[in-house]
């Protein structure tokens, strides 16, 4: 192979190598980069019993009943008993007469999770919602309250209550409140794995009040860096090939001038 042809081939190979490494690197940056948009909850969540709706990532219904319980100080309360709001039935089987609680809550506590949440057009793993989501009390719009419940409940605080006089509730009265799940800022907490946004291992550990597993070694879940190639070496290779090509062309021209002169 002639020197100029060899130099051209070397230049082409160096340029191809540069482009070949650049393309996977760009794809890697796109696949493992930070999300750029805001998470979308997807399908609205609905408490059909009350017609309560949220467009956030979770919906929580809390039902409390006014009940008797034994007082911590027997000399306090009413004969050693006191009345409180509680979200679970209090067993009054062995309570003194006149301190009987209903045996169950007429309504159950329930929680709904979004199963269609996305971020930048990709699925958002449910573990992200459960680990990072923050429950916030909100006051729903009760315009869709069914007529049978509207006859029992009235607006009370941020929710609904069944007390005829909210200032003087009776044993067995109910109050219902709702919370919706909101997501905090997600920067630095997610990574793309299996075509979905998932918690980085260190973010999952932090959510469990544990130290994130970081060290000088490669962090679990991150792609190891290939130290055999770098942009500096690639640029140097292309520059060397270009310089060799120019030198050979100059040599050929000088040889041609010498031949023509003789």
Does residue 27 carry a pLDDT above 50? no
pLDDT, residue 26, reads 40
Most confident of 21-35, 107-121, 193-207, 223-237: 107-121
| Mean per-residue pLDDT, 236-245 | 65
CA distance 113 to 42: 11
The residue among 116, 242, 91, 104 whose CA lies nearest residue 172 is 104
Confidence at 220, pLDDT banded by 50, 70, 90: very low
CA 191 to centroid of chain Cα atoms: 10
Determine the pLDDT at residue 68. 97
Task: Calculate what percentage of the chain has a pLDDT beyond 90.
Answer: 60
Q: Which residues contact 85 (CB under 8 A, 6 or more apart)?
A: 64, 65, 66, 67, 169, 175
Instruction: Indicate the range of 16-20, 162-166, 247-251 predicted with least confidence.
Output: 16-20
Give the side-chain half-sphere CA count within 13 A for 69: 14
Q: What is the pLDDT of residues 82-129, one digit of tens each?
A: 999 999 999 999 999 999 999 999 999 999 999 999 999 999 999 999
Are residues 92 and 99 in contact, defined by beta-carbon separation less than 8 angstroms?
yes
pTM of the model: 0.65
């Amino acid at each position: 192979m002639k020197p100029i042809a060899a130099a051209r081939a070397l230049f082409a190979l160096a340029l191809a190598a540069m482009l070949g490494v650049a393309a996977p690197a760009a794809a890697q940056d796109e696949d493992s980069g930070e999300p750029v948009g805001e998470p979308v909850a997807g399908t609205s969540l609905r408490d059909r019993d009350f017609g309560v709706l949220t467009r956030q990532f979770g919906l929580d219904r809390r039902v409390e009943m006014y009940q008797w319980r034994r007082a911590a100080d027997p000399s306090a309360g009413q004969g050693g008993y006191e009345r409180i709001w509680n979200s679970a039935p209090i067993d009054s089987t062995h309570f003194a007469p006149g301190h009987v609680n209903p045996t169950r809550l007429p309504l159950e506590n329930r929680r709904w999770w979004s199963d269609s949440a996305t971020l930048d057009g990709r699925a958002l793993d449910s573990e992200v919602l459960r680990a990072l989501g923050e429950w916030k009390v909100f006051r729903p719009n009760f315009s869709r309250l069914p007529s049978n419940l509207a006859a029992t409940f009235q607006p009370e605080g941020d929710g609904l209550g069944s007390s005829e006089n909210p200032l003087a509730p009776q044993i067995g009265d109910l109050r219902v409140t709702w919370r919706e799940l909101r997501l905090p800022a997600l920067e630095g907490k997610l990574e793309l794995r299996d075509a979905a946004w998932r918690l980085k291992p260190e973010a999952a550990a932090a959510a469990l009040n544990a130290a994130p597993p970081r060290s000088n070694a490669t962090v679990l879940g991150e792609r190891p860096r290939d130290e055999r190639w770098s942009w500096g070496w690639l640029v140097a290779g292309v520059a060397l090939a270009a310089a060799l090509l120019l030198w050979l062309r100059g040599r050929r021209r000088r040889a041609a001038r010498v031949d023509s002169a003789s």
